[in-house]
Amino acid sequence: MQNRFDTDELLGQYYPGQGCEVVIYERGLRYCSETLNLPKLALRELVIVHELAHWLSDQIPLQHYAPISNHGRWSDLRYETADGSTACHPSRLEQTEKEVHEGWAQAMTFYSLLLAYEDRLRNSTAHPSLKDYVRRDGRGSLYAFLELNDRQSATYRVWQDIVALGRTPREVACTLPALRVAEPGATMALWRKLLQP
């Protein structure tokens, strides 16, 4: 496939580390919107969700018992365990396989957009036909996500393999703590193993 429309670096980017910034690229959105004939607002919404999924995978606390300032990094938090010792769960985002990075962000984007239409799917493993949702959504964010995904590299489509494992969105999301602390970094093999019954 010639023209790839991978989200990161073309449409938006999450920058881990000290700044922990999410940046949305307006020129990339405009180019993608015009080239693929997709609504720019729908693209912007799905890119924001995708990049925030990256931020969450790196920053959300796995456990915490103290308030966090706006400048504190979730993964730098220390907490007291049951035996009184302290521990922290640093993010190993930089060592994680790209397929896990993008698969996580894409799966969370898909679930977020899907759940925006049907909250009762939260604990369901059998999703209704996507065509039904696209029909209801029109040319909204879910439609744009699926159309864009057809033009993205394989790395951005591994989420489909994860969804096909038949786990609920909650079960997929609950793999984050193990993925975050995996040494030297999370792999697709580990992620699939965590989702086996």
Radius of gyration of the chain from its Cα atoms, rounded to whole angstroms = 17
| Total of domains in the chain | 1
Q: What is the pLDDT of residues 155-165, one digit of tens each?
A: 999 999 999 99
* Spatial separation of the C-alpha atoms in residues 70 and 72, rounded to whole Å: 6
Task: Specify the pLDDT at position 90.
Answer: 54
Considering the domain boundaries, does residue 183 fall inside one?
A: yes
* pLDDT at residue 71 greater than cutoff 50: no
Place of tokens 């793999």: 175
Task: Specify the pLDDT at position 134.
Answer: 56
* pLDDT at residue 119 greater than cutoff 70: no
Can you tell me whether residue 87 is helix, strand or coil? strand
What is the pLDDT averaged over residues 63-85?
Answer: 48
Task: Specify the pLDDT at position 37.
Answer: 93
Considering the domain boundaries, does residue 137 fall inside one?
A: yes
Long-range contacts of residues 28-34, Cβ cutoff 8 Å, at least 24 apart: 32/5, 32/148
Question: Full-prediction pTM beyond 0.75?
Answer: yes
Q: What is the pLDDT of residues 12-40, one digit of tens each?
A: 999 876 667 899 999 999 999 999 999 99
* Spatial separation of the C-alpha atoms in residues 79 and 139, rounded to whole Å: 45
40-59 vs 141-149: helix crossing angle, rounded to 10: 80
* Spatial separation of the C-alpha atoms in residues 129 and 118, rounded to whole Å: 12
Considering the domain boundaries, does residue 34 fall inside one?
A: yes
For the chain, how many residues are written?
Answer: 197
Considering the domain boundaries, does residue 2 fall inside one?
A: no
* pLDDT at residue 115 greater than cutoff 90: no
Q: What is the pLDDT of residues 134-157, one digit of tens each?
A: 555 567 888 899 899 999 999 999
Considering the domain boundaries, does residue 76 fall inside one?
A: yes
Q: What is the pLDDT of residues 78-114, one digit of tens each?
A: 444 455 544 445 566 678 899 999 999 999 999 998 8
Considering the domain boundaries, does residue 114 fall inside one?
A: yes
Considering the domain boundaries, does residue 19 fall inside one?
A: yes
Considering the domain boundaries, does residue 1 fall inside one?
A: no
Q: What is the pLDDT of residues 156-190, one digit of tens each?
A: 999 999 999 989 888 999 999 899 888 888 999 99
Range of the domain at 76: 7-194
